[in-house]
Amino acid sequence: MTEESELVQLILENFSEILRYLQQQYDELPPELKKVVESIDFLDLEVDSLLINKREVYEIVAKFLQENLNEELPLCLDATHIICGEDDPRLLREKTGDAEKIAEDAKELILTIKVHYELLKNFTYNRKTEIFYQKKNQPAVKKVEEELDWDRLPGNVRSSYLIKGQKISTLKLYPIE
């Protein structure tokens, strides 16, 4: 790894902390750096953490569908958006007719989809995506666990902890109630 790529990786890993520091030290920053800080829309960063989480979870579900329905991943992603009721245009592509059929097949296969966010230590969280489904007429579950930093959590999970002290948040993606 080159020095430049190591620096880029370090910045990416600590981006939120760097931005907070720059905001706190704003008055002492050189004019060029002040312009950079001013150009960053901090409200969009919050939205992006939710968007990033949605993309990652939808990809997990889509890969599950791909494995179980033997369909192409883009179609399975479209079907995932359909069954989860996703309407954010930043996530959606133009659907093909096949996506609707795959969504119907997915509804026959999947019983429920839940995502759990559990506080670990030092403000890291475990995100567990659970897909409950029928396998040979028996209930089965596919679990995918990932560790996330505080800054990568959806805003509603963070505020649930900060406001209510909630250490576990569960979101039900399917079926939609």
**Per-residue pLDDT tens digits for 115-152:** 999 999 888 999 999 999 999 989 999 999 999 988 88
* Residues near 117 by beta carbon (within 8 Å), at least 6 away in sequence: 125, 126, 127, 148, 153, 154, 157, 168, 169, 170, 171
pLDDT of residue 34: 77
The pLDDT value recorded for residue 95 is: 72
- In this prediction, residue 71 carries a pLDDT of 93
The C-alpha atoms of residue 125 and residue 151 are separated, in whole angstroms, by 10
Give the separation between CA 36 and CA 86, rounded to whole angstroms.
33
What parts of the chain have a pLDDT lower than 70?
Answer: 1-2, 4, 8, 12-13, 16, 20, 23-24, 40-47, 96
ω before 30 within 30° of 0 (cis)?
no
Sheet hosting strand 124-135, strand order edge to edge: 138-149, 124-135, 110-119, 168-174
Calpha distance 60→49 (Å, rounded): 17
The phi and psi torsions of 14 (rounded to 5 degrees) equal -120, 20
pLDDT (0 to 100) of residue 67: 96
pLDDT of residue 56: 94
Looking at residue 105, what is its pLDDT? 97
Q: Tokens 């119907």 correspond to what residue? A: 104
User: Which uninterrupted H or E stretch holds 68?
Assistant: helix 42-69
DSSP letter assigned to residue 94: P
Token pair for 154: 């959806």
How far is it between the farthest Cα atoms of the chain? 66
**Predicted local distance difference test score (pLDDT) of residue 46:** 47
What is the structure's pLDDT at 41? 54
